[in-house]
Structure 1
Amino acid sequence: MKGVAILLLILCFLFSLLSTNLAKELEWCPSKDVFNGSCTDRGRPSYTCFLDFLGSKSASAMPKNCKCTPLPQNRRRCDCFVVCNN
């Protein structure tokens, strides 16, 4: 049983190294868009913009560090970093 636990620990460690290296290779670009509604339509402003970008682009855009700015006429501007298109 100890051997299985140690093997699982080693595999988890190797997977974390692999995922860290993959994340470093991604290039992030700023992106902005305007959406209908307020910054708190879906909870926190950053989460609202995160969901907006997932809906308008795709999950492969992997939006992060989103910020929401309220605009007149019940609109919001979302600024996020997304994976750059190469």
Structure 2
Amino acid sequence: FLYENGYASKEDIDGAIRTGLGHPMGPFELMDMVGLDVIDFIAQATYQETGAEEDKPNESISKLVAEGKFGRKSGEGFYEYAK
């Protein structure tokens, strides 16, 4: 919500989670590690099952997946990675 609505950058959100909560990585870094295609697939399946608006797949993630940007495994997702 914060990222989608322009309240905070992905870098700021990831940094806040790492430093404020002591997690080893933030949510955008974690999604890139898991694979945005996997995240999108899970969201699509959940939404298909529930039909609930809150389960609707995230447009930013779906857009990146459509562009072939799956995260670390493809070299680019929310962040860019050296191949």
**Richer in strand (by share):** 1
Q: TM-score, normalised by structure 2?
A: 0.23
**Richer in helix (by share):** 2
Q: TM-score, normalised by structure 1?
A: 0.22
Higher Rg of the two aligned structures = 1
